Amino acid sequence: MHQKRNLSVSGSISHVNYFRDYYKKDFQYISPDMLRANGKLNHHHGYVGEKVKCGTVVNMWLKEVMAGVKQFFYGGTLHGVKYIFEPTFSHKERATWIAIVVISIAFCAANIIKLFSKWTSTPFVNVIDSLPTPIWAVPFPTVVLCPHLHVKLSYANVLKLGRQEEFFASLICPRMLHKNKTLSERLNFSQIDQLQKFILDATPSCSDLVKSCNWPAKHDTRWVTTDCCKKYFMPIFTDYGLCYAFNSLPLNGMTNDTLSWQRSFNRHANPGSLQWGLDVGYPKVFPPDPSMQPLRVMVSGEDYGLGVELYLNISEHQHACDGNSLGFTVLIRSPTNHVYTSTVLRLPMDRMTTIEVSPITYKTDSALRSLAPDQRQCFFQNERKLEYYEFYTSSNCKHDIFVRESKKLCDCTLYNWPRKNASEPVCSTTKDFECIDFVKGKVEEQQIYAYYAECEEGKGSGEPASCHPSCNDVIYDSQVYYSDLIKEPGDPEPVWGQPKKGELTQINVHFYEDMFLGQHRHAQYDDYYFAGAIGGLLSLFLGFSIISVAELVYFIVLRPVHRVLKETYWRYYLK
């Protein structure tokens, strides 16, 4: 019975003109009629109800997969591949097409490897923002005022101090080198308290310096002579001694662990929470709260900036402490950055100093969070926490390492560096300062090594000392203009006193324009672009497309599985 059916089917197929001798011999699996015939033959091959062995199923599946692979290459959409299997071509023609296909695959693979290498080496690009940013979206800069008067003559004559107080004065007086005034033994706890008291009493207070101010955040252009220091300025330690900062964050942007030390020079220091952040910005509410920290302005211009009238009592000046310089040192910084820097502006006396500020923002797409920090070359705020600073920035990171390494290697820190306790050891001896110099050199060297280790030519594993920039940050560029302050006869005296010539100066800090263009860091190749680029190369060189994927899945997976299941069902279940 089976033999007759086989003969009848074979006989019907042999009369179809579609098949030629060479085609039936080599490619009978391609003909739809032959495939249907083979299916009918396979359905009746074996006995009904016969138990199907696992090895038989695997062999059937492998046979169907191989047949599907051959049919995919011959009848699929890939360019040139079918000519390799064309039975009418000679061996030379097939060899020619094999060479063409291999060369095409090689060029395609080389371009894909080059594209992937570029994607891994430079996964992001920095571009200028397409839309301008209003100035009310960024904080007003922190303005730090440091007088060139570190020890008042009325408090102490630096030429007539004892050994210990002379060392105290040498720490804050630029003309006195502290390395020549070091102590033989490190300061104890009570002496550290005496040092702090000496600095607070010897340095002019905020009210001694700031006589009037104007902050028109509430559209009030009146100059006030009271509460300037209470409302707007707070004491802060810098490399220039004790200074006073406008628009500084709670605890000067440091962590709550430094509260004890902060209260040793600012009794009003208290931790506070912020609604603003580098990664999130200000809350999107209207109208904006003018008292929200850090402070900001709505419009640019001199009338809407910070105006301060400063006084410096020249009778308190000591050449042995401050040299010939009279005036103020001004630091324009982001509220999140520390103030231990030598990048400053000089504010002379009897001048009106105008500082025009232009913010520059750096933003990073959240899509880059999936990359490691050493790949995107920046840190988001939640990715790296500092021990002494609340906000992560590159400068904060470096100074945080300075402080930690000095405590670790020298067992002391400089008097003006942040401490977790006011009684922590302060460097006092020659050996201490030599150790600090060694630590500074070591940390700077680590930063250089970390930079070269992670550069494009040789990226390595992240160095602990590596301080990449913050992914979202704001910095300030400034231009300074000076004009003379001239007092004409008959001009009224200030309500707060009668300053002499050379004792008065004014400063105005404001934004230059209402809008600015920041910089944006985004992925050079997102997932869609990368997939499109690879797909374009495959299509250009091989004609590979989504249809090719569908064909491959159909011939390699779906059809073999379907036929094996169908054959198993026919053998075992049908009766």
Report which of residues 492 and 362 the model is more confident about: 362
For the chain, the 3-state helix, strand and coil shares in percent, each to the nearest 5, are 45, 15, 40
pLDDT, tens digit, 9 for 90 and up, residues 1-11:
444 444 343 44
Q: Is pLDDT of 413 > 60?
A: yes
Distance CA 95, CA 93 (A): 5
Q: What does the pLDDT read at residue 474?
A: 96
Q: What does the pLDDT read at residue 20?
A: 39
**All CATH 2.60.470.10 domain ranges in the chain, comma separated:** 127-369+473-523
Distance CA 404, CA 140 (A): 30
Give SS3 for 511.
strand
Q: What does the pLDDT read at residue 372?
A: 86
**127-369+473-523 CATH fold:** Acid-sensing ion channels like fold (2.60.470)
Report which of residues 523 and 571 the model is more confident about: 523
User: Model confidence at 112, in pLDDT bands (50, 70, 90)?
Assistant: confident
Q: Is pLDDT of 454 > 70?
A: no
Q: What does the pLDDT read at residue 72?
A: 76
Q: Are 304 and 135 in contact (CB under 8 A)?
A: no
User: Model confidence at 571, in pLDDT bands (50, 70, 90)?
Assistant: low
Q: Are 447 and 398 in contact (CB under 8 A)?
A: yes
User: Model confidence at 548, in pLDDT bands (50, 70, 90)?
Assistant: confident
Q: Which of 173-177, 206-210, 428-432 has the lowest mean pLDDT?
A: 173-177
What does the pLDDT average to over 133-153? Answer: 95
Cβ neighbours around 520 below 10 Å, total: 17
- Beta partners for 310? 210, 505
Report which of residues 575 and 394 the model is more confident about: 394
Q: What does the pLDDT read at residue 151?
A: 96
What does the pLDDT average to over 247-258? Answer: 94
Q: Is pLDDT of 26 > 50?
A: no
At 61, give phi and psi (nearest 5°).
-65, -45
What does the pLDDT average to over 244-266? Answer: 94
Q: Identify the burial level of 293 via C-beta atoms within 10 angstroms of its C-beta, where 0-12 means exposed, 13-18 middle and 19 or more buried.
A: middle
Report the mean per-residue pLDDT for the chain.
83
Q: What does the pLDDT read at residue 363?
A: 94
Q: Which of 16-25, 134-143, 545-554 has the lowest mean pLDDT?
A: 16-25
What does the pLDDT average to over 367-393? Answer: 91
Q: Is pLDDT of 135 > 80?
A: yes
Percent of all residues in the chain with a pLDDT value above 70, rounded to a whole number? 83
Q: What does the pLDDT read at residue 241?
A: 93
Q: Which two tokens stand for residue 44?
A: 């009746």
What does the pLDDT average to over 345-359? Answer: 94
499-504 own/partner pairs: CB under 8 Å, 24+ apart: 499/311, 500/314, 501/350, 502/314, 502/326, 502/349, 502/350, 503/311, 503/312, 503/313, 503/314, 503/349, 504/309, 504/310, 504/311, 504/349, 504/350
What does the pLDDT average to over 538-556? Answer: 81
pLDDT, tens digit, 9 for 90 and up, residues 170-191:
999 999 876 678 899 999 999 9
Cβ neighbours around 398 below 10 Å, total: 17
pLDDT, tens digit, 9 for 90 and up, residues 36-95:
555 544 444 444 445 556 667 778 778 888 887 777 777 767 778 777 777 788 888 888
Distance CA 74, CA 236 (A): 79
Q: Are 359 and 474 in contact (CB under 8 A)?
A: yes
Q: Which of 142-146, 212-216, 445-449 has the lowest mean pLDDT?
A: 445-449
User: Model confidence at 568, in pLDDT bands (50, 70, 90)?
Assistant: confident
DSSP 74: H
Q: Is pLDDT of 223 > 60?
A: yes
